Structure 1
Amino acid sequence: MLNSLFIVNTTGDILLEKHWKFVIHRSICDYFFEVQKKAATPEDVPPVISTPHHYLISVYHNQLFLLAVSTSETPPLMVVEFLHRVVSTLTEYLNECSDTSIKEHCVLVFELLDEMLDNGFPLATELNILQELIKPPTFLRSIANQVTGRTNISEVLPTGQLSNIPWRRAGVKYTNNEAYFDVVEEIDAIINKQGATVTSGILGYIDCCCKLSGMPDLTMSFVNPRLLDDVSFHPCVRFKRWESERVLSFVPPDGNFRLLSYHIATMVAIPIYVRHSICLKGGTAGRIELTVGPKQSMGKIVSFHPGFCHHFCFDGGARWKENLFIHASLLFVQSCFTVYFPCITHISSEK
């Protein structure tokens, strides 16, 4: 599948290279650098580049390119998914996947890549298994390794790696069993001047934090699951039961993970309203005022206090006014752009 992996920054420096099967000279990256120079931004670099004898597949994250090299045709989506898994794993181990963190922990990165790929094919990519194979770096463990000459690699093979549930480690015990589910949705909509919705789309995902002992088997149901389109599941979800009953049945991993991502293309009622006021003065100045707020109260309303909200203003000015957040930004020539946001905090009774 993969022959080599290069981690390159935006200036063209190769921070790390890892080879499987045989060594490919780093001059292969010149094809990638030529395409990168022609791109307007790093995000515009095509993810798949074909060369006379190799295929280059890359992902961009935090000023870094993870560049995979293959000598034969390989499913690009599989490689892209693996590279994203590498990014998430490095972020979990190093707190961030950046130029500095990779240079400081290059030995740990090599150890992780050795476990994640075997002869160029994905082997152990679940975080729970990797954390048992290679212990996350800590200050005390680093000192102990320097004194004893040991590494972070475990001498015992994790039991979960040989089971049919590789995403969950065995022997998990907690004093208090608890599980939290956060539903996050992003709305992309076009609203006309009367306030009616012309078109809308919703992208959502469910993030989980499970701290349950043993091998729990959970079931989650929705009021109207038919609304969910283009659903992407974590491997722990039993897909056949979802297809037949529209119910999520799964054995969750230990800790934080994303249970599913979904897209809603059906026109649904948007829970916020948008009002605008445009005042133009001549041809060079004007004022745009937007008011955004919830259509109805949901959950328990908590008394407002400025400490509940944090605002960031990169240009113009920001101030509080009667439970409204006002941000004035001079984005237009000789004009003022004002946005009002109601600052009401809601706390849901259930998670």
Structure 2
Amino acid sequence: MIHSLFLINHLGDIFLEKHWKSVISRSVCDYFFEAREKAVDPENVPPVLQTPHHYLISIYRGKLFFLSVIQTEVPPLFVIEFLHRVADTFQDYFGECSESVISDNLVIVYELLEEMLDNGFPLATESNVLKEMIRPPNILRSVVNTLTGGSNVGETLPQGQLSNIPWRRAGVKYANNEAYFDVTEEIDAIVDKSGTTVSAEIQGVIEACVKLSGMPDLTMSFMNPRLLDDVSFHPCVRFRRWESERVLSFIPPDGNFTLMTYHISSQNLVAIPVYVKQSINFFEAGSCGRLDITIGPKQTMGKTVEDLKVTIHMPKAVLNANLTATQGNYTYDCTTKMLVWDIGKLNPQKLPNLRGSLSMQTGVPNPEENPSLNIDLKIQQLAISGLKVSRLDMYGEKYKPFKGVKYVTKAGKFQVRT
């Protein structure tokens, strides 16, 4: 299925490649580089590209492109899911998925790729199984391996590989049994100049950190499960029970994993947490412009908006910005034409405002060079969709674990049209 895998950084450099069936020249990536140049943002690169002799399927994670080369036609989503599993495995093993970390652990990276793919077909993709075969890196093990010439490869086969529950290893024991779940939602929205919402959607994910002894069987119930649309589950979830009762029933993996992802469309009236009043004008006479932006809370359910940041891509004609911010700080990069206003925590009593003049090289810029305004934010203890976990029960074990659920709302692709 997958013949080769290339890891490419945001500068377009190939810093790692792995081949399974046959060595494919790096020149096949030229088709990908052409598509990357045409895309405005890295996220806009088409995930599937067709070349005269290959298919290129890629994902973008942590400022890295995971590019796979396919010679025969296969289901693209199957390959995309596997690439996300590879990125998740690197994240779990090394704490982050970045070029520097991967380059520092090349031996383990190649060992993982060799186990995850057998002759081009996915084999072992569960983190619990991989950790029994290839031990995660630590300082002590690295020193011992250097002195003795050993490796991180285990000497015994993993027990879960032959089990009907391959995502959980046997004999798990903890002194403190706990299960925590993070419900994180990202808002993708487009707001026009008058403040009217053009489109708004929510991408949600439930991340789990489960450290329970034995073989626990968990159930999670929601107050309003009808909100959920286009759901995707971890293999541990019993799908038939979800279809009939709208209850998540599962034997969890050990450690961190993604329990579920979901999508809420604009048909469900997605609430926008902040409003933006903006005015960006360029004068025909002279070489200057005016900017005035005000942001305030809208639908926050009484929660505080944190890490608020406004990013504006200015036209090429803008040379500098002389502005005054009532809250936070702003920076303007003359090279990238990027204006960043870092507000921080939003104070409802005193709305932050940024206003001032823009010095320009020429008069009015071309219409296609209108500024694009993007917003980034975070709201703790709030799921903007209204999703709530009502119950979390455990069966199969006699102890009482510590349980907790945390809600976070973030801005995804939040754009205000100027």
Change in CA separation of 1:172 and 1:292 when aligned onto 2, cut-off 3 Å: same
Structure 2-normalised TM-score?
A: 0.69
What is the aligned partner in structure 2 of residue 119 from structure 1?
A: 119
2: CA distance, partners of 1:155 / 1:15: 30
Provide the rounded CA distance (Å) in 2 between the counterparts of 1:73 and 1:323: 55
1:96 is displaced (CA, Å) by 2.4
Q: Is the alpha carbon distance of 1:330 and 1:92 closer, same or farther for their aligned partners in structure 2, counting shifts above 3 Å?
A: farther
1:163 correspondence with 2:195: no
Deviation string 1:253-281 (CA, Å, 9 cap, x unpaired) is 1112221111223435849575869899x
User: Aligned with 1:73: secondary structure?
Assistant: coil
In 1, the alpha carbon distance for the partners of 2:237 and 2:344 equals: 46
Give the CA RMSD over aligned residues.
3.8
> Please, which moves more after superposition, 130-139 or 318-327?
318-327
Offset, 1:5: 1.2
Structure 1 residues 108-117 or 12-21, which shifts more? 12-21
CA 350–35 in structure 1, closer or farther in 2 if over 3 Å, else same: closer
Give the corresponding residue for 1:71: 71
- Provide the TM-score with structure 1 as the length reference: 0.80
- Cα–Cα, structure 1 residues 71 and 133, in superposed 2: closer, same or farther, change >3 Å? same
Partner residue, 1:129: 129
1:316-338 per-residue CA deviation (whole Å, 9 max, x = no partner) reads: 6759897757544458748xxxx
Aligned to 2:295: 290
Q: Against the structure 1 CA distance between its residues 188 and 47, is the aligned structure 2 distance closer, same or farther, given a 3 Å change threshold?
A: closer
SS at match of 1:235: coil
Which residue identity does 1:290 align to in structure 2?
I
- Tell me the SS of whatever aligns to 2:261: strand
Deviation of 1:345 after TM superposition, in Å, equals 7.5
Partner of residue 102, structure 2: 102
Structure 2 counterpart of 1:236, which letter?
Answer: C
More divergent stretch after superposition (266-275 vs 232-241): 266-275
The answer (yes or no) to whether the contact 1:191–1:197 under 8 Å persists in 2 is yes
Match for residue 147 of structure 1?
147
> What is the deviation of 1:85?
1.2
Q: Give the Cα separation in 2 of the matches to 1:130 and 1:149.
A: 21
Deviations 1:56-98 (A, max 9, x none): 2122233332221121111111111111111111122222222
Identity across the alignment (%): 54
- Does the CA-based 8 Å contact 2:160-2:169 persist in structure 1? yes
Deviation for aligned residue 1:162: 1.0
Please identify, of 130-139 and 319-328, the stretch whose mean Cα deviation from structure 2 is larger: 319-328
How far is the alpha carbon of 1:112 from its aligned partner?
Answer: 0.4
Q: Partner of 2:92: helix, strand, or coil?
A: helix
SS in 2 for 1:3: strand
Q: Name the amino acid aligned to 1:96.
A: E
- Which residue of structure 2 aligns with residue 260 of structure 1? 260
Which structure has more strand as a fraction of its residues? 2
Determine the C-alpha separation between the residues in 1 that align with 2:342 and 2:152.
Answer: 50
Structure 2 distance, partners of 1:227, 1:94, is: 35
Q: State how far apart, in whole Å, the 1-side matches of 2:31 and 2:197 are.
A: 46
Rate the CA distance shift 1:94–1:241 in 2: closer, same or farther, 3 A. same
| Residue type of the alignment partner of 2:268 | M
CA contact (8 A) 1:128 1:253 kept: yes
TM-superposition CA deviations, 1:193-241 (whole Å, max 9, x none):
9999886543322221111111111111122222211111111100011
Q: Retained in 2: the 8 A contact 1:319–1:326? A: no
Aligned residues: 337
Measure, in 2, the Cα distance between the counterparts of 1:11 and 1:279. 32
Contact 1:10 1:65 in 2 (8 A): yes
Quote the offset at 1:191 in angstroms. 8.1
Q: Distance in 1 between matches of 2:4 and 2:88?
A: 19
1:38-62 per-position Cα deviation (integer Å, ceiling 9, x unaligned): 4444333322222222212122233
* Structure 1 segment 1-351 matched on structure 2, within 5 A: 1-188=1-188, 200-265=200-265, 266-268=267-269, 270=271, 274=275, 285=290, 287-293=292-298, 296-297=301-302, 313-315=329-331, 324=349, 327-330=352-355, 333=358, 351=405
Secondary structure of 2:268's aligned partner? coil
Q: Residues 47 and 58 of structure 1 are in contact (CA less than 8 Å); yes or no, is this contact kept in structure 2? A: yes
Contact 1:320 1:326 in 2 (8 A): no
CA contact (8 A) 1:185 1:202 kept: yes
> Residue 319 of structure 1 contacts residue 327 of structure 1 at CA under 8 Å; is this kept in 2?
no
Cα gap change, 1:318 to 1:122, in 2 (>3 Å): closer
Contact 2:210–2:256 (8 Å) recurs in 1: yes
Matches of 1:12 and 1:196, distance apart in 2 = 38
Higher deviation after alignment, 136-145 or 256-265: 256-265
CA distance in 2, matches of 1:121, 1:270: 43
Q: Which segment drifts farther, 187-196 or 168-177?
A: 187-196
Q: Tell me how far apart the structure 1 counterparts of residues 31 and 109 of structure 2 sit (CA, whole Å).
A: 25
Structure 2 unmatched ranges of 5 or more = 310-328, 332-340, 360-377, 383-387, 389-402, 406-418
Distance (Å, rounded) in 1 between the aligned partners of 2:263 and 2:346: 36
